[in-house]
Structure 1
């Protein structure tokens, strides 16, 4: 385990926390008005991408410099400061104080340098708890240091056994976590397709992946198939592209024990729901009493993956330099395409 301390005075800024992988929805914005904490209590994650000034617009970055940073398609710009921002659940911080004049969100704190060390006053991070934002604390890499303490380095268990996240929130809308996770996974599915049509089995998998793949890839006889594979789940037949769980502690993708398949990591809690959906009753109440046996929640809108996260991941795949995938990347950045997708048209 670890405790994060102020780099200026050495004061402890957190309780002991265990490291987990950065969740795919770490930078997801929008959704329900009030969202829960981004991480479970007692854990932290590190974002390897630079996130501190100076900001350099794309016009000031050469292709070679961008490729050295792992970016292979045009983006608005890149931060040039160090990577390694630390993500925490807000309740795990200690010895910090909000900088009131920096808390200028709609309903609460929207981020930015608004968190200071209570002892010395040094700015150490950002607190986010505004509406439409996941609650989180981000500690700046140059402002804190990591100190090891006694305790398990990871949470209990093997990590693969996780509680499934349902695709629909209790209020009846698609889950933000699903939108983010599918957006990231779709980028790698597109790259694995080779630009050929992909067949997806009917059901929820087709609903969340198939429609976007059909919209972005050529129309014709499917050349490759998309399915699931993972611990305790043996696909039959084996798909060409397999969505596999992403380990929630390490971020590593589960590796299929059989060949001839391209594994694509997917958030483990989302994958678990797809692979082992909850059982539904096989019988209904007598006629006239259906009101006591309500149907599952069904959103009014079609599922849409997080387009911003989809493009973010695509830009960081070397395959995006291929003309056909670069064309898809550019198309996803077109506002007309985004509006048409939201309206359910090709």
Structure 2
């Protein structure tokens, strides 16, 4: 199969649909126009859709009459910020990538070594989408279920033309926590009659800063951050409640559990020291994205076929998180990073108002997924 020729035939149209998607950003679980565009494309290339009973997102199955099925996943939602809803993480280009790969593969379906499952997942930004896919029973409906799953994400720190292939932990396990201190409100002029939760919260936040340095090896990346605090509204009234939220991110699960225990213990002990009541809610949001050695070998083969050995790099992992990891717990998986940066300038990070995907990204990403589909 001539992957490059197939990509060349569809590339202009894929870039056009990327532009359309970019200009109709939709937040998590509200991707209705995006879903309609995806479904129209699948029907155009005669790739049947599977009904999962979801309001947004789409899944298509390309039946090549093969014994095994390879799956691909792209996220489709935009980022919701104070400035509004915008495509500031490149999910519009991820969607266009998978649509392009679908078009190329559909033209050669009789030559494919595997059937291909295309998952256009909603709601990655709020980490609900992968769970919805799993709860729909998608993988249980396929017999046999896919033997491997590939995901893809742009990486602005890497220039267009590079593909990131890394074995092991790639993105962080993440837990969110909410800590509530309840004291006794009163007048700001009589603090001796109050139990001030703000002072207790300040002590807790200060204590959190030493959790990583005192509990984690410097060779194991980890972050524990308090990201919001809400308490009080008046200058002369001591509030009754302080609410703090934050997150824990690690690549190592055992370390993650230790840090979570330390947050719980610190919250409980700090509240007691300041005579406050304490509530701690710790929610594991997603596991770490992990690329196995077997999957890495297949992924590297496809990457080398796409950009050549010199342009396949092994970037450091990051402590961002991805709900792709939940799908990866059900099926052997690999997550690619594909360079989206412009070599001629400083490239803005994901979720920045200045974020953009450089021209040429689809020229690499589409054939990468096609090569991955053809890999034994």
Determine if the TM-score, normalized by the shorter chain, exceeds 0.5. no
TM-score normalised to structure 1 length: 0.26
Structure holding more strand per residue: 2
Structure holding more helix per residue: 2
TM-score normalised to structure 2 length: 0.24
Which structure ranks higher in relative contact order (CA pairs < 8 Å, sequence separation ≥ 6)?
Answer: 2
